[in-house]
Amino acid sequence: MLNVSHLTKKYHRFTANDNLSFIVNDGEIAVLAGPNGAGKSTAIKCIAGLLRFDGEIEIDGHNNKSIEAKKILGYVPEIPAPFELLTVWEHMEFIARAYKLTDWQKKAEELITRMELQDKLNKLGKELSKGMQQKISICCALLTNPQTVLFDEPFVGLDPHAIKELKSMLFEMKAKGTTIIISTHMLDSVDEFWDRVFIMMNGRIEAERERKTVEKSGENLEELFFSITEKNKD
């Protein structure tokens, strides 16, 4: 479970995240949606423990900067950053060693096959296209079987097959009880599996909805998004 409480992130006088509080339960897929500059990526980076912030973030009851939290957290960054001089397989090995994983090879092979990287095992990070680098990021984040996973614009740069595979991985993780947060403004890409949505604008959460509530009202995610963001613009 992810518990974000009064998260505020300021860059000098600019407030990127303004007092965000929300909870994402085990087995839930939450979407952080919002226009460009709404503060989605900043929030994700704060949760991943990459930025300084005010407030509290707990991952399964552990402070997000603690070693215990890091052990159960997976993070797929917005911009993939593979190691230029490591091969695809060595990325897997590095993560396995850094996280002290045992019997990781089978899982690594499975991820690599699903992301269609099996013929690129000996390719260096610098030799891969942006899309393939994104696939490595996903494999690295999921190799550790994390309890909570943060995806920052995960579908950008992926080919249709990889998008399909990633979606089915999300369903599988959800079924296993993994807490998942996806930051995106491509609403149609998450339309089929979201459970909870936080619509952000100007660093604040303007609306929080559950799938059941939205479906009951006859709305869809896109209509909800525009009704909130357009209203606030006016």
Partner 1 sequence: MNAILYMLRKNVKNAVIDTLKSPLKMIVYLFIGASLVYAVIQGFTMNRSVDEQLDPRILYGAYLALLHFISVPIMLKGLSTGSSFFAMSDVNNIFVAPISEKKILTYGIGRQLATSLFLVVCFSAYGSMAIRMFELSIADALMLVGGIALMLIIVQLITLLLFCLCSAHPRLSVYLKFVIYLLPVYALGSVTIFMFSSSMTLENLYAAISQHYLEYSPVIGWLHGFVFGLLYGNTMKAVIYGVLLLICCALSILIFCLTKLDYYEDVLQKAESYYEFRDNIRNGKVSDSDWLGSKPVKLRKQGIRRGSGASSIFFKHLREGARRSRFMFFNINTIVLLGVTGVIGMAMKSFFNSPYRISVIYIAATVICSYIQFFFSAAGDWVKELNKPYIFLIPDSPVRKLIMAGATSIIKPFIDGAISFVFLWMLVGGHIPDIIVCMLVYGSFGCIYISSNILAQRIVGISGNRGVFITFYMGIMVVLMIPGIVIGLLALSNVSGYFTIISASVLGFPVFLWNIFISFMIFMLCKNLLNNIE
Residue closer to partner 1, measured from CB, 112 or 224:
112
**Which x/- pattern, by CB under 8 A, does the window 96-115 give for partner 1?**
-xxxx---------------
**Choices 30-38, 44-52, 153-161, 175-183; region in contact with partner 1 by CB under 8 A:** 44-52
94 CB-contact burial (10 Å; exposed 0-12 / middle 13-18 / buried 19+): middle
Q: Which secondary-structure segment (H or E) carries 16?
A: strand 14-24
Residue closer to partner 1, measured from CB, 71 or 185:
71
Q: Does 83 bind partner 1 (CB under 8 A)?
A: yes
- The correct pick among 18, 58, 60, 90 for binding partner 1 (CB under 8 A) is 90
**Choices 119-127, 174-182, 185-193, 204-212; region in contact with partner 1 by CB under 8 A:** 119-127
Please tell me the number of Cα atoms within 13 Å of 205 on its side-chain side. 20
DSSP-assigned letter for residue 87: B
Smallest separation, CB 4 to partner 1 (Å): 16
Judged by CB under 8 A, the chain residues 53 through 82 that form the site for partner 1 are: 65, 67-68, 70-71, 73, 75, 77, 81
Phi, psi of 4 (to 5 degrees): -105, 125
Contacts of 14 (CB under 8 A, 6+ apart): none
Distance (Å, whole) CA 120 – CA 27: 32
Distance (Å, whole) CA 36 – CA 109: 36
Site residues (CB under 8 A) for partner 1? Answer: 45, 48-52, 65, 67-68, 70-71, 73, 75, 77, 81, 83-87, 89-90, 93-95, 97-100, 122, 124, 126, 140
